[in-house]
């Protein structure tokens, strides 16, 4: 039982948990990524260590690049003060991470991840969270029939020492269906907890997974997540009368654009067309430093951002408001 008790504390912002799992659903824990919390494809995520020694740091550096072998993401261990991922190593705080771009909402003097113990499986699991992946048992299509008294009993003790509210939040609640991209059942996923049979009422159980599964590798590089091919940003010209034609061809797809502000001043980035667009602006010279976001400030359901910018390169991420099923064409332009 000792191997099962080391459970990751999934740091999820409260607004993202919607409802209790429905026990009537079939058991189908799935690998899933939160659509709205993906980093722009092709991002370089900077990492800062808060405490820990060189041995612990080297374990992280050794295993994290395995995600980059299959996803169009890079990790720079430069200890920047404003790094997107900030890791503490408190033995008493277990293992946990915030999900994807939630890291941007955390004060820079606080960690976004803790690695109370370090091995390949734990490092890959927590960095899976950091790039937007959730626990498989929190997929709304899961429906594991929990033996709640046993789960509460085991997780209330060491090394987790969770209170009832934390157990409810991390074990028994699931996301809304519209929030995720998911795969079919993968009991070998590094994102699945080790679940002992004593924690369920229907015989479901899973073993500890220490490496990326074949499905993990394929799923994270899927076109709707972080595809290795075609992940570059489309260049936009700063011309008031010229709009670039684009299309969200798959549900959950996110398009990335880039433009250069040659001079300081007020710039307008806007979309046109029939598609309900959500737009995020990053920069200068960064795909991860969020400036602002917009939904419906443009005509009809289009997005429009008007803001003062310094000289530099800027990135615009575009997605459909209905990330679960929305597709459609649109036009985008930048003017000054």
Which DSSP state fits 67? H
Taking 60 as the threshold, does the pLDDT of residue 178 lie above it? no
Is 184 a residue whose pLDDT tops 80? no
Name which of 334, 325, 195, 320 is nearest 262 in CA terms. 334
Give the number of C-alpha atoms closer than 13 A to the C-alpha of residue 267, restricted to the C-beta side.
25
Q: How many domains does the chain have?
A: 2
Residues 15 and 154 in one domain: yes
Q: Report the SS3 class of residue 126.
A: helix
Q: Give the mean pLDDT of the chain.
A: 83
pLDDT winner (highest mean) among 98-102, 186-190, 228-232, 236-240: 98-102
pLDDT over threshold 70, residue 310: yes
Distance CA(270)–CA(284), nearest Å, equals 18
Other C-beta atoms closer than 10 Å to the C-beta of 24 total 7
Report if residue 150 sits inside a domain: yes
Assess whether pLDDT exceeds 70 at residue 15: no
Q: In this structure, are 290 and 320 located in the same domain?
A: yes
Q: Are residues 253 and 187 in the same domain?
A: no
Q: Are residues 173 and 291 in the same domain?
A: no
Convert the pLDDT of each residue in 230-269 to its tens digit: 657 899 999 877 899 999 988 878 889 999 999 999 999 9
Whether 175 and 202 map to the same domain: the answer is: yes
Q: 124 and 168, same structural domain?
A: yes
Are both 168 and 23 inside the same structural domain?
yes
33 lies in the same domain as 96: yes
Smallest CA-to-CA distance from 90 within 9, 151, 26 is with 9
Q: Kindly state the tokens that stand for 226.
A: 């972080």
Helix, strand, or coil (residue 110): coil
Asked whether the predicted pLDDT for residue 31 surpasses 50, the reply is no
Q: Is the pLDDT of residue 59 over 90?
A: yes
Instruction: Tell me if 106 is assigned to some domain.
Output: yes
Asked whether the predicted pLDDT for residue 57 surpasses 90, the reply is yes
Q: Pick the residue with more confidence: 62 or 31?
A: 62
d(CA 117, CA 301): 47
In which domain, by residue range, is 38 found? 2-220
Q: Identify the domain boundary among 220, 255, 282.
A: 220
Burial class (CB in 10 A: 0-12, 13-18, 19+), 299: exposed
Give domain status of residue 226, yes or no: no
Which one, of 186, 229, 236, 175, lies nearest residue 211 by Cα?
Answer: 186
Matching residue, tokens 């684009």: 246
Secondary structure (3-state) at 166 = helix
3-state secondary structure of 229: coil
Q: Are residues 35 and 138 in the same domain?
A: yes
Asked whether residue 68 carries a pLDDT value surpassing 90, the answer given is: yes
8 A C-beta contact, residue 277 and residue 320: yes
Other CB atoms within a 10 A radius of the CB of residue 82 amount to: 11
Determine the Cα–Cα distance for residues 127 and 216; give it in Å rounded to an integer: 13
CATH of the domain at 261: 2.60.120.380
Q: Judge contact between 87 and 52, C-beta under 8 A.
A: yes
Tell me the C-alpha distance between 202 and 184, whole Å: 19
The answer to whether position 229 is within a domain reads: no
Q: Which two tokens stand for residue 324?
A: 């679960």
* pTM for the predicted model, two decimal places: 0.74
Whether 287 is in a domain gets the answer yes
Residue 143 sits in the same domain as residue 278: no
Based on the domain organization, do 211 and 288 belong to the same domain? Answer: no
């Amino acid at each position: 039982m000792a191997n099962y008790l080391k459970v990751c504390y999934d740091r999820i912002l409260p607004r993202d948990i919607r409802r209790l799992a429905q026990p009537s659903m079939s058991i189908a824990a799935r690998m899933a990524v939160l659509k709205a919390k993906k980093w722009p494809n092709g991002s370089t995520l900077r990492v800062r260590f808060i405490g820990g020694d060189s041995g612990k740091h080297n374990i992280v550096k050794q295993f994290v690049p395995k995600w980059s072998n299959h996803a169009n993401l890079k990790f720079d261990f430069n200890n920047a003060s404003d790094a997107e991922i900030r890791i503490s190593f408190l033995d008493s705080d277990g293992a946990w991470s915030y999900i994807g771009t939630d890291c941007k909402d955390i004060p820079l003097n606080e960690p976004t991840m803790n690695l109370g113990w370090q091995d390949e499986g734990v490092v890959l699991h927590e960095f899976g969270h950091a790039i937007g992946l959730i626990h498989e048992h929190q997929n709304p299509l899961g429906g594991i029939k929990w033996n709640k008294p046993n789960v509460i009993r085991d997780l209330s003790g060491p090394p987790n020492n969770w209170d009832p509210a934390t157990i409810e939040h991390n074990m028994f609640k699931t996301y809304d269906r519209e929030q995720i991209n998911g795969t079919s059942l993968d009991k070998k996923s590094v994102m699945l907890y080790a679940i002992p049979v004593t924690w369920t009422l229907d015989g479901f159980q899973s073993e500890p997974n220490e490496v990326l599964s074949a499905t993990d590798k394929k799923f994270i590089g899927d076109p709707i997540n972080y595809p290795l091919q075609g992940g570059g940003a489309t260049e936009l010209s700063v011309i008031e009368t010229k709009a670039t034609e684009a299309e969200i061809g798959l549900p959950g797809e996110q398009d990335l654009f880039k433009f250069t502000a040659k001079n300081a001043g007020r710039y307008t980035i806007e979309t046109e067309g029939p598609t309900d667009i959500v737009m995020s602006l990053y920069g200068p010279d960064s795909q991860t430093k969020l400036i602002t976001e917009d939904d419906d400030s443009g005509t009809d359901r289009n997005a429009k951002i008007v803001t003062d910018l310094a000289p530099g390169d800027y990135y615009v991420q575009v997605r459909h408001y209905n990330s679960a099923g929305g597709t459609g064409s649109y036009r985008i332009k930048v003017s000054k």
